[in-house]
Amino acid sequence: MPDATTSADPRAAILTAQYVALTTYRLDGRAVVTPVWAAARDGRLLIFSNPAAGKMKRLNNSSRASVAPCTWNGTLTGAQLPATARILAPDELGGMWSALVKKYGLQAGAFRLYDRVRGLLRMRVSAGIEVSLTP
69 φ/ψ sector (left φ>0, alpha ψ -120 to 50, else beta): beta
pLDDT of residue 2: 45
Strand order in the sheet with 81-87: 31-36, 19-25, 64-70, 81-87, 127-133, 44-49, 39-41
pLDDT of residue 123: 87
pLDDT of residue 129: 98
CATH number of 4-133: 2.30.110.10
Domain assignments of the chain as residue spans, ordered by start? 4-133
Give me the helix-helix angle, 93-104 and 106-120, nearest 10°: 150
pLDDT of residue 1: 39
pLDDT of residue 8: 79
**Could you read off the pLDDT tens digit of each residue along the chain, which spans 135 residues?**
344 445 579 999 999 999 999 999 999 999 999 999 999 999 999 999 999 999 999 999 999 999 999 999 999 999 999 999 999 999 999 999 999 999 999 999 998 998 889 888 988 889 999 999 997
pLDDT of residue 89: 96
pLDDT of residue 7: 58
Amino acid identity at 38? A
